[in-house]
């Protein structure tokens, strides 16, 4: 009995092999199937959001184009470039994990984390801009600025919304309750003049045959609801990805991965690439929509 127990202590186990698996082949297959199943449900999760976007976009294209044109395409493009480069550094991390090169793994993981942090920093800049301009679609979450009754601006009559052109010099920001604000419906006038409006828009933007600024604002608000939900959930996935990278950095520094065992790095890379691919779809749908109307 004692001899048998002693011999069991020296049974060879492949590096990284968990006790519930018979060999590395079985473990790798199980991990791979589990990750792809997880990514499949993530695709269905984001697919529901994309479906909601497409439904409302098809009904109110001018409202969505107006909201999209308010987004800063430069920041969105920069974030796209940042994520594409981070996908490269992540792929190279997997490559050097397969080669057992610890130093390159650590350097590339740190670069991947840096690019992910830059992405989140840019999102923080964009969200702050929305807060300062009163276009967060939830009342009370925008910057509160009370009106100055002594100001000359308070006595000036506002222009009709269809005469407020995108990009013109902004008026003084006043928002005593932190409400969602939208004053520009010039695209509706443009679409009406060229007979671009859909049947849903002809009902949804007008009251008694006249453009209703409040109705149009509510349709633009739908766009920003979707914008914050989709980009916010994507940013949450990026934060989770940075957590994974932190764990990978620690284990890579401890020389945990080699040519015989690198599955955690490869699976983390799949997750990171998925998050990047989601953004590749979000960028044109949210930032580039209806740009041609502004020319």
Q: Residue 198 contacts by C-beta under 8 Å, 6 or more apart in sequence?
A: 58, 59, 60, 61
pLDDT (0 to 100) of residue 81: 96
Q: Could you report the per-residue pLDDT of 228-258, keeping only the tens digit for each?
A: 999 999 999 999 999 999 999 998 898 888 7
pLDDT (0 to 100) of residue 121: 96
pLDDT (0 to 100) of residue 19: 53
Domain boundaries, the chain: 31-294
**What are the structure tokens assigned to 90, written together?**
């992540």
CA 166/CA 67 separation, integer angstroms: 10
Q: Which of 102, 97, 48, 82 is nearest to 226 (CA)?
A: 48
CA 142: distance to chain centroid? 20
pLDDT (0 to 100) of residue 23: 52
CATH superfamily label, 31-294:
Cytochrome c oxidase, subunit III, four-helix bundle (1.20.120.80)
pLDDT (0 to 100) of residue 176: 84
pLDDT (0 to 100) of residue 1: 46
Ramachandran class of 40: left when φ > 0, alpha when ψ lies in -120 to 50, beta otherwise: alpha
pLDDT (0 to 100) of residue 85: 97
Q: Which residues of the chain have pLDDT under 70?
A: 1-28, 30-31, 148-158, 162-163, 165-171, 292-295
CA distance readout (Å), 282 to 35, 73, 212, 255, 276: 23, 12, 30, 37, 10
pLDDT (0 to 100) of residue 30: 67
pLDDT (0 to 100) of residue 28: 63
Token pair 């057992």 in the structure block, residue: 100
CA 116/CA 112 separation, integer angstroms: 6
**What are the structure tokens assigned to 96, written together?**
């050097």
Helix (H, G, I), strand (E, B) or coil at 175: strand
pLDDT (0 to 100) of residue 96: 92
CA 44/CA 48 separation, integer angstroms: 6
Q: Residue 71 contacts by C-beta under 8 Å, 6 or more apart in sequence?
A: 126, 227, 286, 287
């Amino acid at each position: 009995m004692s001899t048998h127990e002693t011999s069991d202590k020296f049974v060879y186990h492949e590096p990284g092999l968990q006790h519930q698996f018979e060999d590395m082949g079985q473990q790798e297959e199980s991990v791979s199937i589990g990750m792809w199943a997880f990514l499949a449900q993530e695709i269905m999760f984001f697919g529901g959001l994309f479906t909601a976007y497409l439904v409302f976009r098809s009904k109110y294209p001018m409202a969505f184009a107006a909201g999209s044109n308010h987004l800063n395409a430069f920041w969105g493009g920069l974030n796209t470039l940042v994520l594409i480069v981070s996908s490269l550094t992540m792929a190279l991390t997997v490559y050097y994990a397969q080669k057992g090169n610890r130093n390159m793994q650590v350097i590339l993981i740190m670069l991947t984390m840096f690019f992910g942090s830059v992405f989140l920093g840019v999102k923080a800049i964009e969200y702050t801009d929305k807060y300062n301009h009163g276009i967060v679609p939830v009342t009370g979450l925008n910057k509160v600025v009370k009106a100055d009754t002594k100001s000359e601006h308070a006595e000036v009559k506002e222009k009709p919304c269809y005469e407020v052109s995108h990009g013109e010099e902004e008026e003084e920001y006043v928002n005593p309750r932190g409400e969602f604000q939208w004053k520009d419906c010039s695209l509706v006038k443009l679409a009406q003049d060229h007979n671009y409006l859909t049947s849903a828009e002809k009902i949804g933007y007008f009251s008694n045959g006249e453009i209703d600024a409040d109705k149009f604002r509510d349709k633009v608000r739908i766009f920003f609801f979707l914008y914050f939900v989709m980009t916010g959930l994507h940013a949450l996935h990026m934060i989770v990805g940075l957590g994974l990278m932190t764990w990978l950095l620690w284990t890579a520094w401890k020389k945990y991965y080699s040519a015989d065992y690198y599955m955690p790095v490869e699976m983390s890379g799949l997750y990171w690439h998925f998050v990047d691919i989601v953004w590749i779809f979000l960028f044109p749908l949210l930032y580039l929509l209806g740009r041609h109307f502004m020319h």
